Amino acid sequence: MIVTYETDAQLLRFQLPEPLKPVEDSLVHYEWIKMPDSSGFGSYTESGMVIPCRFKGEDVNFVAQMYLDDDPPIVAGREIWGFPKKYAHPKLEIDTLTGTLEYAGQLVAMGTRGYKHEAMAGNGERTRAALSKTQVNLKLIPGSMAVLRSASSWPITLPTSW
């Protein structure tokens, strides 16, 4: 689940290391990813913030923060591929699609979206599932921003209410 929102352009510029430049819309993507059977790592969930930006005129994404609930993909992602991964307790649940991120014992972020799905067909085949056309909500918990800033190599400032 990815929630895209617009933020303050000056704050966004501050979060990007040189030579990255923000895109005109000042967008941020907050995402939850459930990896049910990742090759070599097993099952884990991650949550994080991605900033669309430009590098030498080309559109790219800067991964500002990533939080996972399993050590091997954290270490591989951080030490081999250079992603800013930290241990936390992200969750992604389906019915109402709900993503949460708990870090250092605090609820830091929560996103929800209505989700339509059908149960497994009687013959065991999966039936189609489609996201409903409902509002997506992202709530960044007030007071938790200091936790995020101290936990990341690239501090990010988030809105605290919607």
Q: Is 85 a catalytic residue?
A: yes
Task: Give the mean model confidence (pLDDT) for residues 70-89.
Answer: 92
Instruction: Report the alpha-carbon distance of residue 27 to residue 47 in Å, rounded.
Output: 17
Query: What region does 114 belong to: left with phi over 0, alpha with psi -120 to 50, or beta?
Result: beta
| Higher-pLDDT residue of 125, 137 | 137
HSE on the CB side for 157, CA within 13 Å?
A: 10
Domains in the chain: ranges and CATH: 2-151 (2.40.400.10)
Encoded tokens for 87: 């241990």
What pLDDT does residue 108 have? 83
Q: Taking the model in full, what pTM does it have?
A: 0.64
Task: Please pick, among 85, 91, 116, 133, the residue that the annotation labels catalytic.
Answer: 85
- With contact defined as beta carbons under 8 Å apart, do 91 and 56 qualify? no
Instruction: Report the alpha-carbon distance of residue 62 to residue 54 in Å, rounded.
Output: 9
Q: Tell whether the model's pLDDT for residue 89 goes beyond 60.
A: yes
